[in-house]
A and B are shown apart, each in its own frame.
Chain A
Amino acid sequence: NAGVTQTPKFQVLKTGQSMTLQCAQDMNHEYMSWYRQDPGMGLRLIHYSVGAGITDQGEVPNGYNVSRSTTEDFPLRLLSAAPSQTSVYFCASTQPGVETQYFGPGTRLLVL
């Protein structure tokens, strides 16, 4: 199992550009989540999904869109990047009855 994979590892954007952060898991987990982590701070939940076709907002959803068309994939879209979105983004997955979330390695995003 590759677990949770994220691409790209690092990205530089200009203000106003759009991009999609990719997240995939091969554990057949129903739950997937996106978090952001700003320097020196904990993780904050952006969006999460409890299954294909079902998504909901977390603490800090503004400026981000998600969709869940398959169990495996949960992409995060930045529609118009802003410097405030400079952060490290982590994707995680888990399953009802499984107590732990499995995290990907993160995507480091710099918005100029």
Chain B
Amino acid sequence: DAKTTQPPSMDCAEGRAANLPCNHSTISGNEYVYWYRQIHSQGPQYIIHGLKNNETNEMASLIITEDRKSSTLILPHATLRDTAVYYCIVRVNTNAGKSTFGDGTTLTVKP
């Protein structure tokens, strides 16, 4: 799995968009970008994933740069319940059982 780099912490005002960056400069052509979050020591929860196109679901949007060396997870209207640790993971989709989690970004949403 390619190595990822995320800022250790970020703050965001409630109701504003939260933009969480991830660098993955050594990503291979067949590796996907996955995002998970972990709220208050619960088990991690899947958010979204993508290969090279931008993706959107009910939780978030994922923007992947054209060279695929970085990506941004966007929470469009952050709420206090979005306060969590966010993990960016890069892996091939056949390695679903052995994701490598780094230390992630602690996002704090403030009123």
Contacts and interface: CB of A to CB of B under 8 A. Distances in A.
Contacts of B97: 31-33, 48-50, 92, 94, 101
Interface string B81-111: 0000001000001101111111110000000
Contacts of B41: 88, 106
Interface stretch (B18-26, B42-50, B61-69, B72-80): B42-50
Contacts of B44: 43, 90, 92, 101, 103
The SS class assigned to the B binding surface is loop
Contact of B96 (A49, A96, A105): A96
Contacts of A45: 98-100
Interface string A58-76: 1100000000000000000
A39 B46 CA distance: 21
A77 interface: no
A92 B97 CA distance: 8
B43 A103 contact: yes
User: For chain A, which range describes its interface: under 10, 10 to 19, 20 to 34, or 35 or more residues?
Assistant: 20 to 34
A41 B103 contact: yes
Interface string A16-41: 00000000000000011101000011
Contacts of A33: 97-98
A61 B33 CA distance: 26
A42 B103 contact: yes
Contact of B43 (A31, A50, A58, A105): A105
A101 B103 contact: no
B87 A42 contact: yes
B49 A104 contact: no
Interface string B5-49: 000000000000000000000000000101010000111111001
Contacts of A42: 87, 101-104
A11 to B, nearest CB: 16
Nearest to B104: A42
10 contacts: A33-B97, A42-B101, A43-B101, A48-B97, A50-B97, A88-B41, A92-B44, A94-B97, A101-B36, A106-B42
